[in-house]
Amino acid sequence: MSSKINVRRFSLTQMMFHFFLIITFMLLSVTGIAWMYIETSWGKALATPFGGYVGALEVHRITGLILLAGFGIHILYTIWKVDWKHFPRSLFSRDSLVFQWRDVKDFILHLGWILGLSKGPQFDRWSWWEKFDYWAVWWGLIIVGVTGLMLYDPVFSSDYMPGWLLNIALWVHRIEAVLAMAHIFTIHFFIEHWRPRCFPFSATMFEGSKSIEHLREEHPAWVARIEAEGRMDEMLCPSAPVPLRILYFGVGYALIGLGVFLLVFALLNVGLLTLKL
């Protein structure tokens, strides 16, 4: 028991998907905001590392395609991961990310706990906000992906649709992207890293595991279920060595810092934009 204090939560593949998403998302954020803010000197500065305006657009387009390819692979991975033997029922198992009735109950109990009215919910493997964050990437990527492909080459795509759909595509793309960035750079960072129980940094998505004490608080039903099924021994693993943890922290905070930087300066400069809503 001595060194094995963590419970495995994510496989290497899943962590790779998450890391891939971080990198592409951040690249798209920087180049996308540079594009949106190119009228301001801050926007021009953001575009400079990519060789200015034109370079930033090129990087944005190519990174978008790479992200969509990754999304395609993830869809295949998801289909492959589904437990087809017990098919429709397996979607509603406790390990599944599909929203279920218990998530509604969990949400209400959690709200009750926040307001001091009830005891907190006993989360199983996934809490409702973890499921929300997972599916938000799906609908976000579908919206941004479809409109992004429409805008990839306007002359080409308008052969297959009226050109004025591009006016709509650009606004939808923009609003969805701003929504995604604002959500990640505030809510997601807060829930996963900044709220008092996780502060200052949670490395679960880099280590793939989390300390059992923490999980007993946050996912008690899951831990209890593993113990009841007698699987705890195979799920336990040591936590990462200190140098690695320092690396995780450094990389993590570089990315968090970049997100916060984009958010703060985007807000400061928003008055200089000539876009009108």
Q: Which residues bind to ligand HEC, rule: CB under 6 A? A: 151, 154, 166, 170
52: left (phi over 0), alpha (psi -120 to 50) or beta: left
Q: CB nearer to another protein: give 82 or 168.
A: 168
117 sits near another protein (criterion: CB under 8 A): no
Select from 79, 155, 228, 242 the one that contacts another protein (CB under 8 A).
155
Which region, judged by CB under 8 A, interacts with another protein, from 94-102, 225-233, 248-256, 268-276? 268-276
| Cβ-proximal residue to ligand HEC, closest one | 154
The answer to whether 37 and 243 have CB atoms below 8 angstroms apart is no
Which region, judged by CB under 8 A, interacts with another protein, from 7-15, 108-116, 204-212, 259-267? 108-116
Closest CB 164 distance from ligand HEC, rounded Å: 9
172-177 long-range Cβ contacts below 8 angstroms, 24+ apart: 172/143, 172/147, 173/143, 173/144, 173/147, 173/148, 174/36, 176/140, 176/143, 176/144, 176/147, 177/28, 177/29, 177/32, 177/144
Q: Choose the contact partner of 89 out of another protein, ligand HEC, none; CB within 5 to 8 A by kind.
A: none
Beta strands 209-211; 236-237: pairing state: unpaired
Cα distance between the two ends of the chain? 59
Contacts with another protein by CB under 8 A lie at 35, 38-39, 53, 111, 113-116, 154-155, 158-159, 161-164, 166-168, 170-172, 175-176, 178-179, 182-183, 186-187, 190-191, 194-197, 274-277
